[in-house]
Amino acid sequence: MGPVLIVDDEFGIVEAVRDLLSDEGYRTATALNGREALERMRQERPSMILLDYMMPVLNGPGVLESMQKDPALRDVPVVMMSASPPDFWQHLPCAGFLPKPFDIEQLLGMVRRMIGPPPVTH
């Protein structure tokens, strides 16, 4: 199973979500902008992506547009994250929406629904 890719220009959010998912047993990767996210995806295909809507360099919709053009990435589930009202994302090829600030149980529930429980490690 590939990592959960966490993409946000706010390092504190990336760090908090990474720590939460890692503590739950999920493997994670991070990026601080859309261009870096696409580079990470090409290095290792993620299981799912938690993607901020508004970022410098390349925003969330720009990342989605690039992913849709790439057969290896177009079916990776993406959950858009934003402090803006959720009505905008319904027109984007997203699997879901998470409002900021996050509800931890909602975040974990969405990850579990998208990719299942974390792998069991011994």
Q: What is the pLDDT of residues 65-108, one digit of tens each?
A: 999 999 999 999 999 998 876 666 667 788 988 988 889 999 99
Separation between Cα atoms, residue 25 and residue 30, nearest integer Å: 16
**pLDDT given at position 88:** 63
Domains of the chain are 2-109 (3.40.50.2300)
Residue-wise DSSP of 50-112: EEESS-SSS-HHHHHHHHHT-TTTTTS-EEEEESS-GGGGGGSS-SEEEESSPPHHHHHHHHH
3-class SS at 116?
coil
Most confident of 4-8, 59-63, 88-92: 4-8
Start-to-end Cα distance in the chain: 16
- Confidence (pLDDT) at 18: 98
